[in-house]
Amino acid sequence: MADPLRLRHFLLALAVVAIWGTNFVVIKNALDHFPPLLFASLRYGFAFLPAVFFLPRPAVSWRNLTLYALLIGVGQFGLLYLAMDGRISPGLASLVIQTQVFFTIGIAMVLVHERVQGFQWVSLLLAASGIAVIGLHTDGTTTVAGVLMVLLSALSWAGGNIASVRAGKVNMLAYVVWSSAISAPILLVLSLSFEGWEVIRNSVSQAGAAAWMAVAWQGWVTTLFGFSVWAWLLGRYPTATISPVALLVPVFGMLASAWLLGEKLPAWKLIAAALVMSGLVVNLSWPLLRPGRPAEGSSR
């Protein structure tokens, strides 16, 4: 049986999901300056440069790197940015994208043959109940196309999680950087094809410092730090242990929206957050509370 998630690793995962949750506010503001596919391309361009000059290509096949780049760079964020460009609200996007947890565990059960234990099902049901509460109280600022895009984005994220696990024990920061070398040009070609050179030229020439800071945040913090750490954690623990932590993303998303965008936090939002937190507590604490469970041992 796998070791329970250690406190320091939980705090590291928590830092990542806090960045990812508050990032929906950053994305919303950046999309006022850049078209979505160009914005995604710039994100991965920043992730690739200048880091590539300091990190050699990891010992992993180009096929695996390409798969990860297509699933995470093009699939997850290309679709997410398109959806958030007037098709779905930031808060709802931060919610729907968390279906990646269920996609990830489902794919792992089929491909990696991981076994989901009883307490993990309970934790997922609790957290899913919290997401359902949020879903029942949306303000209607969304479209069917937007929801479908984010669901496909979540499925791509789940596939990327599995691809990173199959990469094995490699330098995950280098893994993310070199996969960005594949994501950025593909997204740029898509931007040229669907958004057009005039839109690209105008948005780049008119973007101010705040817009470029948003791109840098996307590339260096949410991508390099966030995804390399997330992939590293997935390499140390079963996906059913790590993935549910990402259910906190909409909680951070709601708090960031309340603070930065002035959105209110009515009782139903607090109830939803409590349900999500309860699911995480069950998932993380149950293995430690079981009789005969050994204390945290030496480093893995």
What is the rounded distance in angstroms from the CA atom of residue 189 to the CA atom of residue 182? Answer: 11
The tens digit of pLDDT for each residue in 156-199 reads 988 998 888 888 888 888 998 999 999 999 999 999 999 999 99
Predicted local confidence at residue 236, as pLDDT:
81
Question: Could you tell me if 242 and 5 are in contact, meaning their C-beta atoms sit under 8 angstroms apart?
Answer: yes
Phi, psi torsion values for 88, nearest 5 degrees: -160, 145
Predicted local confidence at residue 56, as pLDDT:
92
What is the rounded distance in angstroms from the CA atom of residue 222 to the CA atom of residue 234? Answer: 17
Give the pair of three-digit tokens for residue 133. Answer: 């509460």
Q: Which residue ranges of the chain lie beneath pLDDT 50? A: 1, 293-300
The identity of residue 184, as a single letter, is: A
Chain center to CA of 156:
10
The identity of residue 159, as a single letter, is: G
What is the rounded distance in angstroms from the CA atom of residue 209 to the CA atom of residue 13? Answer: 30
The residue with tokens 């507590």 is 281
Predicted local confidence at residue 294, as pLDDT:
45
Domain coordinates of the chain in residue numbers?
7-289
List, as own/partner pairs, every contact residues 294-300 make where C-beta atoms lie below 8 angstroms and the sequence separation is at least 24, other chains included: 296/3, 296/4, 296/6, 297/3, 300/3, 300/236
The tens digit of pLDDT for each residue in 128-168 reads 887 777 667 665 566 778 878 988 999 998 899 888 888 88
For 110, residues 6+ apart whose C-beta sits below 8 A from its C-beta are none
The pTM of this model reads 0.79
Predicted local confidence at residue 36, as pLDDT:
96
The string of DSSP codes covering 48-87 is HTTGGGTSPPPSS-HHHHHHHIIIIIIIIIIHHHHHHTTT
Give the pair of three-digit tokens for residue 294. Answer: 């050994």
User: Partners of 142 in the beta sheet?
Assistant: 88
